[in-house]
Structure 1
Amino acid sequence: MTSTSTNTSTRPGAKPDIQLIEQNGEVTLSIGGEQAMQAWERDLMWASADLLCEYGQDFYEVGLGLGLSALRIAQNPATRRHTVLELFDEVEDLFRAKHPQVPENLTVERGDFFRRIFELPSESIDGMFFDPALDMEVWTDAELWARTMPEVVRVLRPGGVFIPFFSTKPELRWQYTPHFRSIRVERHPYTAYDTTEYTHGTSGDAYIQCFLKD
């Protein structure tokens, strides 16, 4: 599921407590007691979605979260097909309770990305938006990323893109950089909630990184 945090306590296969918390004007998707995603991220999610949609018409997203990017991608006039892979039933249930009607070109599937990526057909999508909630142990597993990212490149069509969730640090993510020669970076201002725990400060600049397959 989606997260902008690298501190999320959820690993693939776990069954954490999942809640949508709405209080004091703030909306938070909580997974395992951690802030997985918050509604203030909307503009950054939309910017990421719009950037993705510049590169084709068939897209894949890892992590549903609040559905901000999923709906934005599906509603883009350029989009023919958008598939979202979500690990937890509860996350999709919360999303559909808020959005009982979704675009016809939007499909939500259940599965673990680190298994599913090996099953996807080669050169089958124009772009992937990547925003799962993973444990720090997963994010720092160099061998896992070395196995996984070549598969991501494989499923992208030539000229396709891989866009991970935004960063509030001005640095390229080591998990992805060895696998792409061209990287497009956009800087956007952001203001988080005062209670947000997963950003480097509650305001400043966020960086959207777009990795292009040659």
Structure 2
Amino acid sequence: MENATRTVAESATKTGTKTGPGAGPAAGPAVELVEENGEVTLSIGGEQAMQAWERDLMWESADLLCEHGHDFYEVGLGLGLSALRIANHPATRSHRVLELFDEVEELFQERHPELPDTLSIERGDFFQRIFELPSESVDGIFFDPALDMEVWKDEELWRRTVPEVVRVLRPGGVFIPFFSTRPELRWQYLPHFREIRVIRRPYTAYDTTEYTYGTSGDAYIQCFRKD
């Protein structure tokens, strides 16, 4: 998910999806699962929010997360590719997923009626919930929400929020945002971590994918580690 609802760093077109601080399920955009011509797309607000071709990158991100402990938290359910990978990993003791939209979870539950015992899904706004989570309570956070362009640009918001992410992580824990197709460190998180690991992997998107720089090339998985 790398379009404007996912990252301003990729300089994509704004969707107008109002999914930031103070937003809630009732204010959310239309959510639809589109399956045609062998392609699977989660559409939010009429825009491509996530597609099934991302699977290998999401899986590698999930496996990287699971190298760092046993209890994990994820922001943004999407198609559930990373959620199921993390929950089914042998190292995982617990995996909680925060999702803003009821419809996203409903679509996921229709496709996956039986979930791993380690997986739980909760509803809420990340920018409120992060302040409520206990300190040093998780070993890793995977971050892949659908956010409005204005939210990504809000420097003050990120200055307030990312220290809370660090607080919630245990020492040695990691924060892994969704992959990028540009070799640029995420400015929202960079000031708050001293150790950052970047993994470069090739990707091939659908011919119809609108949110990457081209439909093939290199993607970058960024892993921010707490001291």
TM-score bucket of the superposed structures, by smaller chain: over 0.9
Partner of 1:161: 174
Q: Does 1:31 align with 2:29?
A: no
Q: Does 1:65 align with 2:87?
A: no
- Segments of 5+ residues of structure 2 without an aligned counterpart are 8-13
1:139 maps to which of 152, 155, 173: 152
Contact 1:8 1:36 in 2 (8 A): no
Amino acid at match of 1:146: R
Instruction: Give the secondary-structure state (helix, strand or coil) at the position aligned to 2:62.
Output: helix
| TM-score, normalised with respect to structure 2 | 0.92
Partner Cα separation in structure 1 for residue 16 and residue 120 of structure 2:
27
Partner Cα separation in structure 2 for residue 136 and residue 48 of structure 1:
23
Q: Does 1:18 align with 2:31?
A: yes
Identity %: 79
Instruction: Give the secondary-structure state (helix, strand or coil) at the position aligned to 2:185.
Output: coil
Amino acid at match of 1:64: L
Partner of 1:9: 16
Partner Cα separation in structure 2 for residue 136 and residue 148 of structure 1:
16
Contact 1:8 1:35 in 2 (8 A): no
1:105 maps to which of 118, 134, 145: 118
RMSD: 0.8
Q: Deviations over 1:71-119 (max 9, x none)?
A: 0000000000000000000000000000000100100000000000000
Partner of 1:205: 218
How far off its partner does 1:8 sit?
4.6
Amino acid at match of 1:104: D
Partner of 1:129: 142
Q: Does 1:176 align with 2:176?
A: no
Q: Deviations over 1:168-208 (max 9, x none)?
A: 00010100000000000101100000110111111000000
Instruction: Give the secondary-structure state (helix, strand or coil) at the position aligned to 1:72.
Output: helix
How far off its partner does 1:163 sit?
0.1
2:163 maps to which of 125, 137, 150: 150
Instruction: Give the secondary-structure state (helix, strand or coil) at the position aligned to 1:55.
Output: coil
| TM-score, normalised with respect to structure 1 | 0.97
- Segments of 5+ residues of structure 1 without an aligned counterpart are none
